[in-house]
Amino acid sequence: MRFVLKLVLFLVILAGIAASLVYQQYQAFTQKHIQLAPDQPATFEVKSGATIRQVTQQLIAADILPKTSVIPADYLFLAQARFTEQASKLKAGEYALEPSMTTGDLLTRLASGKTLQYQLGIIEGHTFNELVRAVQTHPYIKQTLSTEDYKHLMPRLGGANGESAEGWFYPDTYNFPRGSTDLEVLKRSYQAMHDYLLKAWEQREPHPLIKTPYQALILASLVEKETGMPDERPMIARVFLTRLEKNMLLQTDPAVIYGMGDTYDGNIRKKDLETDTPWNTYTRTGLPPTPIATPSKAAIDAVMHPAKTNYLYFVATGTGDGRHFFSETYEAHRKAVSQYLANDKKRQQGIATQ
């Protein structure tokens, strides 16, 4: 009987020593830093639907968890995740890792949902085709849309069936996690443009010839392509509106270029101005049928609140600064054109002698 009691006491002491050693190992593990080799990507991705066991095995396979001498690292990490109640809180996505991270920091990061963000810039003045190319070549956007899908994109964004996608994407820099789909990113930009256009429309100065927000979007795209000068946009918007009132041709070259499509080689010739397309504002009165590019917020605002002027014409100054001469009469416009030609000639000569 005394032998049995001694044996039980010995086993209890042994168990206590083992528990103490396990606790020491656990405590030491929670304070250890993760391992990142110099040539190792400092990121880790939690797959959608992954369990804590699967994530732990990924970390072991990637050699990220610190080495242990007695108890395997995966056992300790699983215990840590459950003890800190983070085992069921891991969120899918790609996370940045730092060498200074402890295993506890790593668990907190993977449960935070603060995933790495990538960017896509949608630039004012760019066409829908240019936007599509930017989306399709982005390394961190998941491609789900086919060429045919892009041709019939608007219903998938919330727009009308058969409506052109041109001009419907708000220019901005969009942040998103790796694996976001092309449709998700485009929906955000479309919704931003839709919301801003309607807000600006509600606060507009009404014009009898601009009857819908879409017509305002079309006109804003023309303004966007004609000037990059913020102070000129309201004046150019007014020129176009005044010409519409007088049933004059808008005669805006960017619209002609848009209608030329892939045949445009960087030069616009007299025959191009005379070749009719739905966007040729030298052969057709009124607005083009669609926007010709992505308008900026400033261009939309200019259309909603145009300048109060009587200008009917404008032409570049020819000095290379992007500015324009504005005229109320054709005679004054002809003089401005002559001045443009003279200034441009001087500028080109100056460039040639540099």
Digit-coded pLDDT (tens) for 109-155: 999 999 999 999 999 999 999 999 999 999 999 999 999 999 999 99
- E strand spans, the chain: 43-46, 93-96, 117-122, 172-177, 313-316, 324-327
Nearest C-alpha neighbor of 180 from the set 84, 94, 278: 94
- CA distance linking residue 177 with residue 345, whole number of Å: 50
In degrees, to the nearest 5, what angle opens at C-alpha 177 toward C-alphas 154 and 125? Answer: 45
* Res. 68: pLDDT tops 90: no
186 alpha-carbon distance from chain centroid? 8
Per CATH, the homologous superfamily of domain 32-112 is: Endolytic murein transglycosylase (3.30.1490.480)
Q: Give residue 8's pLDDT band: very low, low, confident or very high (50, 70, 90).
A: very low
Q: Give me the mean pLDDT over the 90-116 stretch.
A: 93
Q: Decide: pTM greater than 0.75.
A: yes
Does the pLDDT of residue 6 top 60, yes or no? no
The label of the residue with tokens 């001009």 reads 167
DSSP 42-77: SEEEEPTT--HHHHHHHHHHTT-SPP-SSS-HHHHH
For 125, 191, 254, the CA distances from 171, given in Å and listed in that order, are 9, 12, 19
Tell me the pLDDT tens digit for each residue of 289-345: 999 999 999 999 999 999 999 999 999 998 988 999 999 999 999 999 999 999 888
pLDDT of residue 11: 44
CA distance to 208, 235, 287, 295, 310, per residue, from 245 (Å)? 9, 15, 12, 22, 12
Name the residue ranges covered by the structural domains of the chain: 32-112, 117-198, 205-353
Q: Are strands 172-177 and 43-46 parallel, antiparallel or unpaired?
A: unpaired
pLDDT band at 30; cut points 50, 70, 90: confident
Q: Is the pLDDT of residue 10 over 50?
A: no
